[in-house]
Amino acid sequence: MANRLAHEISPYLLQHAENPVDWYPWGEEALERAMREDKPIFLSIGYAACHWCHVMERESFENGAVAALLNQSFVSIKVDREERPDLDDIYMAATVALSGGGGWPMSVFLAPDRRPFFAGTYFPPTDRHGRPGFSTLLKRIAHLWRSQRDDLLAQASALVAQVRAGYEIATAAPVSSAMISAAVRALAASFDPRWGGFGSAPKFPPAASISLLLRCHAKTEDAQALAMARTTLDGMKNGGIYDHLGGGFARYSTDQRWLVPHFEKMLYDNAALARVYLEAYQATHDLEYRRVARETLDYAVREMQDAEGVHEAPPSEARPPEADEVVL
């Protein structure tokens, strides 16, 4: 039988409508039930094109035994991050604060009053590689909720304070030359001189870092900054992460050489990369950079808009975050 997500319009939520998990969409019905039954909330956030979201669904959410654990001890809520970016932004901040990293699927455990006390991303179905399996995690959190709830709520309060502090607006101040130099040195420390990029696999296209390097070079003629930018730009455009037939960049490279892409293209990645390749063309007059920028923009126009074209919704259609829905 279909669960409550069968009545939603989000393609991502509809993909989970046949799961044995007793899913709720985000809303008063689920939140009131959590308060009434004094159960923690399991909040799962993802989106339709997310590979690991589908993996976790297949491994865990379609599994009857896992669903039974969720249905017995939790109120389970599924959210489409593209439908509710406000919720995604807030609970991603909590996930990063708790685990040191983020991504999707996002798996967050909340008190009934919506304060998060534990979070992560993908969890395998069974214990492996030093990570707890999802079933193990569910049993452990259900036990802690019964036996050490005060500790969980104290952690939730501390986390809420930390996330709120991160949302405080800092006083505007100019970025000094010393700060820019320090940022360039930090990038140089993790730079891959052979393949470009920073750190090891998986490698994500570092558009913002490249833009910083190009602008640093424009102001100071720092040859190292330009070399790091060009090596990375060349590695990406020549590798498999770039679609040499259709244009546009995949989400990331699974290897260090930019060779094997994760087959998923995101609009915001391609928007940022088109801009940074244009900046590189302006800095170097290298026609290859202009070509890649043009092909990336052509791809976005051709494949990433609907038949009516790109348009902004009228103000009346915009749905602002509701203050009573998020406690952070």
Q: What is the pLDDT of residues 133-181, one digit of tens each?
A: 999 999 999 999 999 999 999 988 888 888 777 766 666 778 888 999 9
- To the nearest 10 degrees (0 to 180), the angle between helices 223-238 and 207-220 is 150
21: amino acid identity, one letter: V
In sequence order, which ranges of the chain are alpha helices (DSSP H)? 11-15, 28-37, 51-56, 64-73, 85-99, 134-147, 149-167, 177-190, 207-220, 223-238, 267-284, 287-303
Threshold 0.75, pTM exceeds: no
* pLDDT confidence bin for 325, thresholds 50/70/90: very low
β 41-46/75-80 pair status? parallel
- Which of 94 and 1 is assigned the larger pLDDT? 94
CB-based contacts of 314, cutoff 8 Å, min separation 6? none
Arithmetic mean of pLDDT, 34-38: 97
Q: Is the pLDDT confidence value at 326 over 70?
A: no
In the predicted structure, residue 114 carries a pLDDT above the cut 70 = yes
- For the segment 60-71, the average pLDDT, to the nearest whole number, is 96
**What is the distance in angstroms between the CA of the first residue and the CA of the last residue of the chain?**
35
Residue 322 has pLDDT above 60, yes or no: no
* Residue 44 binned pLDDT confidence (cut-offs 50, 70, 90): very high
Comparing 127 with 230, the larger pLDDT belongs to: 230
Which 3 state secondary structure label does DSSP give 41?
A: strand
Domains in the chain (CATH in brackets) are 4-167 (3.40.30.10), 177-303 (1.50.10.20)
CA distance 251 to 240: 11
Q: Residue 5 contacts by C-beta under 8 Å, 6 or more apart in sequence?
A: 13, 14, 16, 17, 19, 23, 25, 78
